Structure 1
Amino acid sequence: MTLPSDAQTALEIFNASLSWEQRARLLMQWGERLPAMRDEEKTDAHRVDGCESKVWLAGELSDGHWQFRAASDARLIRGLVALLLARVNGLPAHALQEVDLTDWFTQLGLSRQLSPSRSNGLNAVLQKMRHMAG
């Protein structure tokens, strides 16, 4: 399966950094790169249920490919969500159904960051994306 270019970039960057501290720093940097959501988008309709932290998600279909935007009030979650967006943005709806969250974060060497609650939260984000994509 071909990865979106942002996902390929993420893999190259995260696999090049050896230490856990470097990966943790990179994760925060990816979160800071997340495009800001407008305040009027941070509504209950865009809120992802099932996350301990507040996460908002919006997306639209353009030429058969999904583009999502997200925001979170937690720095670490922002980084994890940014990496999830790197993996899914630009995919058609059918490919969204095939994304394996655990495998993706394992490939990035970040599975240690996926506590059960974070994993559940990210799965909730992915499920909302899939629901939006119908």
Structure 2
Amino acid sequence: MTISEKQQEVLDELGLFQDWQERYEYVIGLGKKLPAMPEEAKTDDKLIKGCQSQVWLDASAENGKVRYVADSDSVITKGMIALFVRVLDEQPADQILTADLSFIDKTGLKEHLAPTRANALNLMATQMKQRALEFAGN
């Protein structure tokens, strides 16, 4: 499945919910399903700087595709990073680097976040692309 197909899948699923609270509960549920990040992997170099909550992101390359592992000390933030992991995990680095991640604006989640949390979404997207850059061209 391509990045844009995964984005559309997320938007379709979120579109099933009538209000923003139901959407948040769904996003929190996605965060709870994220595979656990080992405590020893939660190091300062994996922290996404500028987020109100602590958010850790790690990436590796496997069979020409980028694999992401992420965690947060906040349930809503963990859910938000889970959205990005769901869309970008197991994709080629070159495709991640050129991906338009504005789908997050279409979710309707940003309107109900504090400005610092809304900004964290941009920081997450940027950091995920930065990590993919390490594996580009391989």
Specify the TM-score bucket, using the shorter chain as the normaliser: 0.7 to 0.9
Matched, 1:95 2:106: no
Does the C-alpha gap of structure 1 residues 3 and 128 become closer, same or farther in structure 2, counting only changes over 3 Å? closer
Work out the CA distance in 2 between the residues paired with 1:21 and 1:116: 17
Shift in Å, 1:58? 0.8
Structure 1: 5+ residue runs without aligned partners?
none
Output the TM-score relative to the length of structure 1: 0.84
Equivalent AA in structure 2 for residue 23 of structure 1: R
Matched residue, 1:131: 130
**Number of aligned positions between the proteins:** 133
Equivalent AA in structure 2 for residue 117 of structure 1: T
Shift in Å, 1:8? 4.6
Matched residue, 1:105: 104
Deviations 1:61-97 (A, max 9, x none): 1122111010000111111111111121122112222
Work out the CA distance in 2 between the residues paired with 1:3 and 1:120: 22
Output the TM-score relative to the length of structure 2: 0.82
Report SS of the residue matched to 2:50.
coil
Structure 2: 5+ residue runs without aligned partners?
134-138
With 58-67 and 115-124 compared, the bigger mean Cα shift is at: 115-124
- Contact 2:110/2:118 (<8 A) preserved: no
Shift in Å, 1:21? 2.1
Matched residue, 2:136: none
Alignment of 1:45-124 (within 5 A): 45-101=45-101, 103-124=102-123
Aligned-pair Cα RMSD in Å: 2.2
